[in-house]
Amino acid sequence: MKVLVADRISPKGVEFLRAQPGLEVIEAYGSSPEKVLELASDVSAIIVRSETKVTADVIRAATQLKVVGRAGVGVDNIDVEAATERGVVVMNTPSGNTIATAELTFTHMLCGARPVPQAAQSMREGKWNRKAFSGSELFKKTLGVIGLGRIGGEVARRAQAFGMRVLAYDPYLSPSRAKAMQVESVDLDTLLREADYITVHMPLTDTTRYMIDEAAVAKMKDGVRVFNCARGGIIKESALIDAIKSGKVAAAGLDVFETEPLPEDSELRKLPQVSLTPHLGASTREAQESVGVEIAQAVYEALQGGVIRNAVNMPSIDAAMLESLKPFLDLGWKLGKLVQQIAAKRVDRLRVTYYGRVVELDANALTRSIMRGFLLGISGDEVNFVNAPILLQRLGIQVDVVKSNTETDYTELIEVEAAAEDGTTYSAAGTLIGRQQQPRLVAVDGNEVEANLNGSLLLLKNRDVPGIVGVVGTTLGRHGVNIASMSLGRNEAGGVAVSTINLDTTPSDEALEELRGHEAIVSTALVDF
């Protein structure tokens, strides 16, 4: 397998890749877009920083591509949508530059409190003007942290060391984590109204773009200080410029901008109250070495079919979670495949219900495994964990996930139900049995059955009349197919019964046609696992 390292990362990361058997590493720093397109044609992975753009054209050209790794946080230079559609994992390294970015944020905060850059420039000009550079203290001031993830949390810790009160706004912040970090969890309006210093640490999304705009600034204290070392566009620059000119904002510090590089004629360059740095958040020797090695290791593990870490377009699973999930992932795709085989051709909804201990596991990963299984008979081998949701969406199939506290006969149970356009539903439920945690089918369309989800499984629906078992056995035997095990289930005498039959070999089309031709057999489905 070939790995294209398109942007310069830590030499230790490249050395790690070169040391792995079966990998060929291509270093192509500073390549033109045309050259990247050419080199990508037969690579399994591409590693970039922020310079090289992994466009939809590159992804289409890279027919063997499995992974794109970004040595850093932002993936603006990667067409994530195109990668997802192709089933390509996009990974980044969100933790490698945490300390570097937190320290830079705090540097900007200190420069906002004490105008050190301005004073230093004045000294270089031969001046000595102490009165012009009076500042304020951080001690006993209130810091508002918008987004208390890894970086926001590190900034909060440093602020507490300086004796600051810390307010935090984060929609996903649990009360227990807020208490553990000794911060006050508040709504956004309260933070804007009470904070002396405000720093943002949110990703740039449709909901966070221009989170700090004219309306937000109007709610702030007079003389507030504002900082952004996260993503350009979270703070509306025109609103910030007006607020600084009016004196509403006393100082600001920015490492990221709406347009990068920052245009030469940007008004921000003319404001002495603003400290500016050219996107230096991860620019420390330690951070660059960390993200280079981290992305190299993550890409290699993904290529080997192991742990997926820090993926931006699929669930990331650590080694411990993967180990506990493996048998359930196996059960999930098999149930999905089975339901697709017994359901009508056109369905508009999938409903996945988890019972018992399985509700404590990663439902996102499990559900994707079920989606993949359902799509295998529709989209073929091109479907995987990455693109399954988008492929289902394209088919117009809604997926509902339920974690139920209803008691069942099993300590863990997964039920998959497909609903057709006419309202008819088709379902299968399964669990794990034994020390080896083997997947076992325990219900089909509400009928209790018991069958192994391995090899060839024949499912029959038939009217509950005498002699069907004999007909099935005789027909299969005549075509040289041996029955390994058989289970029958029905909800009422004389109704429609369900038979699940594990077979040693796959029956021929002729054998299946003969079974379908029997007047008592309603339907047949053969699933090969």
106 with 254, same domain? yes
Q: Which two tokens stand for residue 499?
A: 């038979």
DSSP, residue by residue, 67-88: EEEESSS--TTB-HHHHHHHT-
Residue 526 in any domain: the answer is yes
**218 vs 422: which has the higher pLDDT:** 218
> What is the per-residue pLDDT across 262-298, written as a single tens digit (0 to 9) for each?
999 999 999 999 999 999 998 899 998 999 999 999 9
Place of tokens 């056109």: 346
Angle at 297 between CA 291 and CA 302, to 5 degrees: 120
What kind and span of H or E run contains 499? strand 496-503
| Residue 212 DSSP label | B
Instruction: Quote the strand ranges of 81-164, DSSP E.
Output: 89-91, 142-146
DSSP 3-state of 31: coil
The stretch 66-74 carries a mean pLDDT of 90
Find, among 236, 249, 146, 250, the residue nearest to 200 by Cα.
Answer: 146
Find, among 309, 324, 408, 376, the residue nearest to 69 by Cα.
Answer: 309
Express as a percent the part of the chain with pLDDT over 90.
Answer: 75
Place of tokens 């993503």: 231
Query: Which pLDDT belongs to residue 496?
Result: 87
Q: Examine the pLDDT at 319 and tell me if it is beyond 80.
A: no
Residue 310 in any domain: the answer is no
Residue 121 in any domain: the answer is yes
Residues 6 or more apart in contact with residue 38 via CB below 8 angstroms: none
The stretch 509-525 carries a mean pLDDT of 91
pLDDT band at 149 (very low <50, low <70, confident <90, very high): confident
Residue 393 in any domain: the answer is yes
Query: Which pLDDT belongs to residue 82?
Result: 93
The stretch 332-342 carries a mean pLDDT of 95
pLDDT band at 215 (very low <50, low <70, confident <90, very high): very high
149 with 171, same domain? yes
Residue 309 in any domain: the answer is no
What kind and span of H or E run contains 330? helix 319-342
Q: Examine the pLDDT at 3 and tell me if it is beyond 80.
A: yes
Most confident of 132-146, 318-332, 358-372, 383-397: 132-146
**In degrees rounded to 5, what are phi and psi of residue 425?**
-115, 150
Helices H / strands E in the chain, number of each: 17, 22
pLDDT band at 381 (very low <50, low <70, confident <90, very high): low
Q: Examine the pLDDT at 382 and tell me if it is beyond 70.
A: no
Find, among 151, 146, 114, the residue nearest to 132 by Cα.
Answer: 114
Please answer whether residues 298 and 20 qualify as being in contact, where contact means their C-beta atoms are separated by less than 8 angstroms.
no
360 with 458, same domain? no
The stretch 20-47 carries a mean pLDDT of 96
CA distance 4 to 295: 13
179 with 197, same domain? yes
CATH code for position 407: 3.30.1330.90
> What is the per-residue pLDDT across 177-213, written as a single tens digit (0 to 9) for each?
899 899 999 999 999 999 999 999 988 878 899 999 9
Residue 420 in any domain: the answer is yes
Instruction: Quote the strand ranges of 279-421, DSSP E.
Output: 347-356, 398-404, 412-420
Q: Examine the pLDDT at 143 and tell me if it is beyond 70.
A: yes
Query: Which pLDDT belongs to residue 356?
Result: 93
Query: Catalytic residue numbers?
Result: 231, 260, 279
346 with 434, same domain? yes
400 with 257, same domain? no
pLDDT, averaged across the chain: 92
Instruction: Quote the strand ranges of 107-260, DSSP E.
Output: 142-146, 165-169, 184-185, 197-200, 224-228, 249-254
Q: Examine the pLDDT at 315 and tell me if it is beyond 80.
A: no
220 with 266, same domain? yes
What kind and span of H or E run contains 447? strand 447-452
What is the count of structural domains for the chain? 4
Most confident of 14-28, 93-107, 481-495: 14-28
Q: Examine the pLDDT at 321 and tell me if it is beyond 80.
A: no
**In degrees rounded to 5, what are phi and psi of residue 527?**
-120, 120
Which of 420, 445, 470 finishes a domain?
A: 445
CATH code for position 240: 3.40.50.720
Residue 282 in any domain: the answer is no
DSSP, residue by residue, 450-486: EEESSSEEEEEEEES-TTHHHHHHHHHHHTT--EEEE
> What is the per-residue pLDDT across 388-401, written as a single tens digit (0 to 9) for each?
888 898 788 999 99
Q: Which of 19-28, 294-303, 487-496 has the lowest mean pLDDT?
A: 487-496
CA distance 435 to 15: 41
55 with 105, same domain? no
348 with 425, same domain? yes
263 with 133, same domain? yes
Find, among 471, 462, 529, the residue nearest to 496 by Cα.
Answer: 462
Domain that holds residue 527: 454-529
> What is the per-residue pLDDT across 71-118, written as a single tens digit (0 to 9) for each?
987 788 999 989 988 989 999 987 788 899 999 999 999 999 999 999
Please answer whether residues 9 and 71 qualify as being in contact, where contact means their C-beta atoms are separated by less than 8 angstroms.
yes
CATH code for position 502: 3.30.70.260
Residue 281 in any domain: the answer is no
86 with 105, same domain? no
Please answer whether residues 392 and 372 qualify as being in contact, where contact means their C-beta atoms are separated by less than 8 angstroms.
no
414 with 341, same domain? yes
